[in-house]
Amino acid sequence: MLLFACIGCDQFTKSQAVSYLSESSPISLYGDFFRLHYVENTGVMMSIGGDLPEKLRFYIFTIAVGVVLFLMFIYVISRSHPKLQLIGLVLILGGGLSNLLDRLYHQGKVIDFLNIGIGSFRTGIFNIADIFIAVGILIILSDSIKKSRKPTDR
């Protein structure tokens, strides 16, 4: 259920961004801490790889990512995982699949529209799927760190 909720939430917000932001200037909220700024990203985070040749971007960002997500899906369903690890994996998988859907539907582009910061210190422009991926990674890392700090039974 969480997987489909992630994909649905991200795809809905992206459809709203296309409808309401694609033809407008960036919208500043809360003293410019939060901006809604529509972009079509051909790369990955911070547009890394966006200037690669189109065919190479397709093989890396669509085919290779698709294979990795498929293998990750198999890993998730093929065995039992601790609850927090499972939640983290599903968040990463949901965000990754939703961004992959964007690449398939938007000719290799991902819809990004969120930006936060103070003054010139700002994040790159991102989307809800990116938040799911980042939160999933943080959950897995914090759970791993917590487990590694437990005293071992002797």
* Residues identified as active-site: 112, 130
**Backbone phi, then psi, for 34, in 5-degree steps?**
-120, 130
Pick from 139, 146, 145, 119: nearest CA to 2: 139
Residue 129 CA to residue 151 CA, distance in Å, equals 36
The angle at the Cα of 47, spanning 46 to 53, to the nearest 5 degrees, equals 160
Pick from 29, 54, 28: nearest CA to 43: 54
Residue with tokens 């790889």: 49
Partners of 112 in beta bridges: 39
